[in-house]
């Protein structure tokens, strides 16, 4: 009870909670410490300070929701003009103008009101109106910050020129306008774009009558309704939960991601039901360049449309397809001999320069329009709903196309007659070949079955797992049709690394050295040269090729190619200019602020969730540690080094092995002691990483000095109510107490001794994304008991006298 009272006192200081009506009248200012509360107590308005900030802002936050309470802020009035003290007041003047400490903070009503009132409604809208009228002279919904609520419009009022857009917070402690904003682009066909400054980062594509074309699907929890309006007066997107008990919100976060949450009454927490971008094709605008198509279900992701070829072929093998594709044969508009190739896309090409004919309902008429326009490159139906109305014609290069298994939209791309004939001939030949193969297969079945029998009877019990020749490697990596890696010449890598000069060494792993290189085209690369003496290196080489080449996610390192020359086996990766995470945490380089550390934690979590759940394979990494987290130029984390990774079958939950590999300090107890690993083993390693990132300390398992054991220290401080003492002092004094405590709590949940007690990575991502979601109390972390028992409590005790930067390459489990 005392803790509850303390919590309420804390909230009253931060948010200024107090009982109040929902209406503000002239000459009755709302002072700091007072609030307006909507009629059903869903929302509150008042002064608050986010996180560790001492600035005061006027904002609206959720006050009470079914199943629990939350203080999620959804709107900020003076985000660019904070107050420095607690003597602020919000006042409604007699003419209907709102001021904070006598200063106007947003555009106010253009008309003078006779008897104005300001009211906080139960949908979260703060409005100004005449006391005897229901019409709004002004509303906060016209000036959103980073959050979209039910009934709020994202888009344009063409009559007044009002543009309602979302702008991210600068940080969780600073609601001032951040780097990203989401708005509707009116050029061509309206669509929602996410911008970073003046650079378009990603787009939803136009509304097709069912969904935004670039979204694979629009998840609709319960009775959530989406809508898009495009007429002469308004162009806007909106979702609506009117008449339901559903509570939803959209958020443009500090990383430029659109997150959509639904409040779950049974759990009393926010559930993340849609995260955009959903894959790497959506992550980067026009990733594959003009006439290039991105497909996350194949490798490589980028390829040219049929009838086109790479514009810069030497760049494509290095996963840089931004230059796009050129036509094999130029169009001949005069002879009108061109035709169309049908492709089914998940995302329509960029529509900012497209032309829409709204009254055309026949596809043939749309085709004729395209043929009559020499600039036309493609056409499609504008609306794929039951109405099926409209025609879209592209008159520029086709950009930002995506394919997937969820593709719905047919696009007809204009090609020269010779290219169409070539495509048709290849297709016919392929069909004939398939027919011949089927005939041969069925006729040979009777002969093959006996051969298979004798083969299985004489098969050896053990098969050596290694790449024994360059030709075999070629067959595995280039002949299966699933993915293709660039084969780089030894001489090319010698030049790129200056003959593998020691000055180019980036680091040293258990399987060899990593060098920085630069190709003749200017691409910077990281070159892993596997040690000739490492037998494990062969396995790692195979794993890297098998897994990384098939996995595509913004938080996984990208494998660009390989080289084999005699005993030399080399893997080439994208270069990460900021090196590995351990250099920042434990080195003498630049220090990381809390927001950057949290961004890294979130990125690692998303990458690990992809490995466990969202990728085509179910991968357990088995060596997740700070030195295997690489950082790009924007400090985005990339999980690397898949040499020890294992693929899990759909029905497998855990595996027991006699060969325990990994790195002490990050390995889960059930794996270290019994050789049993599962996805929860990776969760344990992730929990260790969280605590290391927050504390700036290594987790060491050293019996001679148990004080170095980070998990034990974190557990002790947590139980003593001193968890903040774990925070890295290099972070400084500007940080969010709530965020730090939340990270420590999640870290301790992940390192609990029993695997069944640890959360899944999907739950971890939800917990990291929901500041207000209640977290369970953690149980004792793994290995803590080691320091309170005798040395003979565990077999092979000497193996635990080590630091966590030593990697186990082979150990026999119990």
Q: Is 435 exposed, middle or buried (0-12, 13-18, 19+ CB in 10 A)?
A: exposed
Residue 260: strand pairing partners: 250, 274
Measured in whole angstroms, the distance separating CA 86 from the mean position of its chain's CA atoms is: 38
The DSSP bridge pattern shows strands 292-295 and 401-403 to be parallel
Cα angle, residue 637 at apex, residues 488 and 660 outer, rounded to 5°: 80
Residue 334 exposed, middle or buried by CB count within 10 Å (0-12, 13-18, 19+): exposed
Helix (H) or strand (E) holding 786: none
Concerning whether 614 is annotated as a catalytic residue, the answer is no
Q: For residues 523 and 550, is the Cβ–Cβ distance under 8 A?
A: no
- Give residues with Cβ within 8 angstroms of 148, minimum separation 6: 154, 166, 239, 249, 250, 251
| 376 and 395 Cβ atoms separated by less than 8 Å | yes
Structure tokens at 83: 């107050």
Distance of alpha carbon 436 from its chain centroid, rounded? 46
- What whole-number distance in Å separates Cα of residue 804 and Cα of residue 666? 7
Distance in angstroms (rounded) separating the CA atoms of residues 290 and 570: 32
Closest alpha carbon to 74 in 147, 152, 177 = 147
**Sequence-separated (6 or more) residues with CB below 8 Å from residue 173:** 50, 51, 52, 53, 595, 734, 735, 736
Distances (CA, A) of 422 to 307, 410, 417, 717: 9, 21, 9, 71
How far apart (Å, rounded) are the C-alpha atoms in residues 649 and 619? 9
Query: From the candidates 623, 641, 682, 772, which is the catalytic residue?
Result: 623
Q: Are 152 and 144 in contact (CB under 8 A)?
A: yes
Burial of 405 (0-12, 13-18, 19+ CB in 10 A): exposed
Write phi, then psi, for 188 (nearest 5 degrees). Answer: 65, -130
Question: Residues with catalytic annotation?
Answer: 623
């Amino acid at each position: 009870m005392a803790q509850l009272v303390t919590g309420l006192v804390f909230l009253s200081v931060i948010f200024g909670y107090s009982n109040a009506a929902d209406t503000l009248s002239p000459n009755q200012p709302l002072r700091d410490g007072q609030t307006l509360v909507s009629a059903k107590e869903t929302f509150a308005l008042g002064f608050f300070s986010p996180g560790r900030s001492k600035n005061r802002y006027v904002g609206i936050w959720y006050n009470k929701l079914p199943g629990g309470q939350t203080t999620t802020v959804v709107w900020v009035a003076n985000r660019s003009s904070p107050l420095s003290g607690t003597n602020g007041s919000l006042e409604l003047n007699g003419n209907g103008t709102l001021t904070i400490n006598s200063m106007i903070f947003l555009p106010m009503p253009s008309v003078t009101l006779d008897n104005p009132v300001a009211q906080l409604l139960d949908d979260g809208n703060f409005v100004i109106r005449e006391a005897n009228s229901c019409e709004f002279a002004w509303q906060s919904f016209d000036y959103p910050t980073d959050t979209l609520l039910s009934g709020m419009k994202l888009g344009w009022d063409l009559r007044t020129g009002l543009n309602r857009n979302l702008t991210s917070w600068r940080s969780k402690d600073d609601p001032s306008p951040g780097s990203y904003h989401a708005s509707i682009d009116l050029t061509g066909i309206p669509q929602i774009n996410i911008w970073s400054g003046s650079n378009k980062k990603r787009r939803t594509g136009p509304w097709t009558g069912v969904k935004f074309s670039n979204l694979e699907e629009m998840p609709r929890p319960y009775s959530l309704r989406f809508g898009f309006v495009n007429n002469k007066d308004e162009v806007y997107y909106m979702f609506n939960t009117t008449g339901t008990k559903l509570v939803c919100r959209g958020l443009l976060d500090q990383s430029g991601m659109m997150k959509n949450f639904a409040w779950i009454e049974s759990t009393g927490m926010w559930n993340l039901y849609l995260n955009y971008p959903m894959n790497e094709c959506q992550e980067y605008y026009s990733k594959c360049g003009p006439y290039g198509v991105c497909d996350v279900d194949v490798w490589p992701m980028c390829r040219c449309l049929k009838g086109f070829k790479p514009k810069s072929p030497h760049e494509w093998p290095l996963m840089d397809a931004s230059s796009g594709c050129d036509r094999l044969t130029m169009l001949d508009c005069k002879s009108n001999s061109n035709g169309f190739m049908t492709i089914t896309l998940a995302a329509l090409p960029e529509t900012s320069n497209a032309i829409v004919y709204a009254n055309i309902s026949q596809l043939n008429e749309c085709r004729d329009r395209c043929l009559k326009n020499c600039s036309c490159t493609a056409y499609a139906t504008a609306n794929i709903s039951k109405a099926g109305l409209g025609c879209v014609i592209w008159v520029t290069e086709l950009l930002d196309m995506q394919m997937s298994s969820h593709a719905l939209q047919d696009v007809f791309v204009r090609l020269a007659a010779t290219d169409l004939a070539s495509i048709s001939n290849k297709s016919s030949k392929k069909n004939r070949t398939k027919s011949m193969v089927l005939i041969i297969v069925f006729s040979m079945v009777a002969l093959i079955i006996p051969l298979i029998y004798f083969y299985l009877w004489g098969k050896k019990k053990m098969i050596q797992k290694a790449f024994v020749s360059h030709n075999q490697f070629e067959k595995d990596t280039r002949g299966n049709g699933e993915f293709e890696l660039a084969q780089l010449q030894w001489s090319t890598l010698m030049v790129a690394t200056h003959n593998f000069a020691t000055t180019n060494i980036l680091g040293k792993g258990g399987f060899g050295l990593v060098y920085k290189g630069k190709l003749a085209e200017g691409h910077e690369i990281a070159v892993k040269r596997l040690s000739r003496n490492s037998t494990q290196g062969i396995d790692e080489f195979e794993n890297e090729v098998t897994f990384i080449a098939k996995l595509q996610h913004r938080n996984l390192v990208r494998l660009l190619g390989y080289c084999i020359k005699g005993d030399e086996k080399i893997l080439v990766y994208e270069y990460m200019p900021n090196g590995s995470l351990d250099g920042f945490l434990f080195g003498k380089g630049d220090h990381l602020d809390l927001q950057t550390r949290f961004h890294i934690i979130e990125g690692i979590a998303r990458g690990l969730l992809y490995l466990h759940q969202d990728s085509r394979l179910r991968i357990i990494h088995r060596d997740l540690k700070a030195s295997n987290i690489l950082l790009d130029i924007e400090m985005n984390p990339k999980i690397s080094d898949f040499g020890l990774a294992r693929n899990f079958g759909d029905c497998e939950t855990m595996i027991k092995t006699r060969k325990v590999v990994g790195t002490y300090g990050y390995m889960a107890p059930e794996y270290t002691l019994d050789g049993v690993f599962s996805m929860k083993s990776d969760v344990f390693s992730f929990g260790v990483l969280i605590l290391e990132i927050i504390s700036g300390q290594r987790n060491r398992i050293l019996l001679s000095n148990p004080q170095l054991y980070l998990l034990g220290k974190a557990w002790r401080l947590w139980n003593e109510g001193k968890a903040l003492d774990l925070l890295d002092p290099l972070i400084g004094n500007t940080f969010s107490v709530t965020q730090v405590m939340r990270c420590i709590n999640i870290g301790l949940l992940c390192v609990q001794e029993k695997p069944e007690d640890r959360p899944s990575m999907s739950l971890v991502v939800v917990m990291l994304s929901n500041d207000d979601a209640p977290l369970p109390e953690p149980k004792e972390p793994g290995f803590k008991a080691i320091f309170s028992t005798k040395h003979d409590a565990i077999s092979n005790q000497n193996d635990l006298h080590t630091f966590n930067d030593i990697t186990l390459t082979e150990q026999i489990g119990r």
